Amino acid sequence: MTYTKRKDGRKFDEPREMEAKVGVIKRADGSAMFRMGDTIAIAAVYGPRELHPRFLQNPQKGVLRCIYDMCSFSVTERKRPGPSRRSTEISMVTKNALLSVVNLDKFPSAVVDVFINVIQANAGTRCVGINAAALALADAGIPMRDLVSAVAVGSVGTKIVVDLDKYEEDHEEGSTDIPVAMIPGTNKVVLLQLDGAVKKEALKEALKMAKKTCSDVYKIQKKALKTAYPGALL
């Protein structure tokens, strides 16, 4: 049996419905929500502010810190609260992806903290978290070369698909999940993880799909910023 039709009726290269909003956490210096289907992430940014303890400071430039977490109520089986190996890894790859666009040269000895919370999870949370975090950093006025836009691509059985949901990730025909984050202006890949095996040709096709969908994500991100900052040149 081959995977011929997606359960939710989407085309194989069609992402889930997307939505974005900035300024959702008023007390934060910057914040945003990003939704892809049933996966929703909120990101809040604090800083630049002086980094304590001082031995962690970099006198040349500011430091970026990133914490990704999933709320206990984000999945149907209550997720155990607190950090895990998974959340530590996702925090690290998210930070590295964002560092490729953030410029903290003007903020020596300071820190910018990015907190990402997934309030509802149905696969693709690291990508949705990155999309929200990039928007929250822009909302905080942190100097950035561009945004970062992300989506997971992969395969279900022999089919290449974009933006897998949990049903597809756990499919009986076997699946491969490839989260990809890009700098939309240059198409530079700043995150690529591969969970499983994939043939070279399939990877090429999946990356093509990721590029196309990342540009759709970018449009949604820019629209959210334009709504919040009507006069801004974006």
Can you give the binding site for ligand ADP, defined by CB under 6 A? 75, 77, 79, 86, 121-126, 152, 166, 169, 177, 179
Is 62 within 8 Å of 108 (Cβ atoms)? yes
Q: Which is nearer to ligand ADP, 169 or 216 (CB)?
A: 169
> From the CB of 218, what's the least distance to ligand ADP, in Å?
19
> From the CB of 196, what's the least distance to ligand ADP, in Å?
11
Q: Which is nearer to ligand ADP, 65 or 79 (CB)?
A: 79
Q: Which is nearer to ligand ADP, 146 or 169 (CB)?
A: 169
Helix (H, G, I), strand (E, B), or coil: what is residue 116? Answer: strand
How wide is the angle at C-alpha 148 spanned by C-alphas 161 and 186, nearest 5°? 90
Q: How far apart are CA 197 and CA 178, in angstroms?
A: 10
Count Cβ atoms below 10 Å from residue 167 Cβ, excluding itself. 14
Q: Indicate the DSSP class of residue 122.
A: S
Q: Which is nearer to ligand ADP, 79 or 211 (CB)?
A: 79
Q: Which is nearer to ligand ADP, 27 or 85 (CB)?
A: 85
> From the CB of 79, what's the least distance to ligand ADP, in Å?
4
> From the CB of 156, what's the least distance to ligand ADP, in Å?
14
Unique residue bearing structure tokens 């194989």: 12
Is 95 within 8 Å of 65 (Cβ atoms)? yes
**Dihedral through CA 35, CA 41, CA 47, CA 48, nearest 10?**
-70
> From the CB of 232, what's the least distance to ligand ADP, in Å?
30
Return all residues near 26 (Cβ < 8 A) that are at least 6 apart: none
Closest CB to ligand ADP belongs to which residue? 125
> From the CB of 78, what's the least distance to ligand ADP, in Å?
8
Q: Which is nearer to ligand ADP, 52 or 80 (CB)?
A: 80
